[in-house]
Amino acid sequence: MHEAAVSRTVELRPPHPLSAGELEGIVSRLLLRLAEGLSIKGVVPGHIKAFVAEGEPYAAFSCTKPGKVVTRASKDWSGSVFLKPSLSLNVVVFGPAKDEVENLVEKCLVDLPQ
């Protein structure tokens, strides 16, 4: 069994300002897509985490099984509008080889507004 740790930080450049809800949807879909590709017997053997911020508002996302993303956000997150938020992604899993995890991460990040 392999260990793989992949981290990426990107600046999102959406075509229009995003509400917190819209940004949450984008990040949750990213994590869910990664979880689907990395799950073994219905669980992610490790974790997939993301941290999104622009200025003071921030949110942290965590996914350890397909279909479920846990979000923790700052008090000012829900009323904020995002122009160019920073997304930091961390994927740590056991099972697939590191190059497989890197390829999946890159494939999923391509679909984000960058």
pLDDT digits (tens, 9 = 90+) for 58-92: 999 999 999 999 999 999 999 999 999 999 999 99
What is the sign, positive or negative, of the torsion defined by CA atoms of 69, 33, 30, 91?
positive
Nearest to 44 by CA among 21, 26, 23, 70: 70
How many residues does this entry show for the chain?
114
Query: What residue ranges define each of the domains in the chain, with the CATH number in brackets?
Result: 2-110 (3.30.1490)
Contact 67, 28 (CB under 8 A): no
- Determine the Cα–Cα distance for residues 48 and 56; give it in Å rounded to an integer: 23
Q: What torsion, rounded to 10 degrees, do the Cα atoms 104, 107, 86, 68 define? A: -50
pLDDT at 55 over 70: yes
Specify the pTM. Answer: 0.94
Average pLDDT over every residue of 4-33:
96
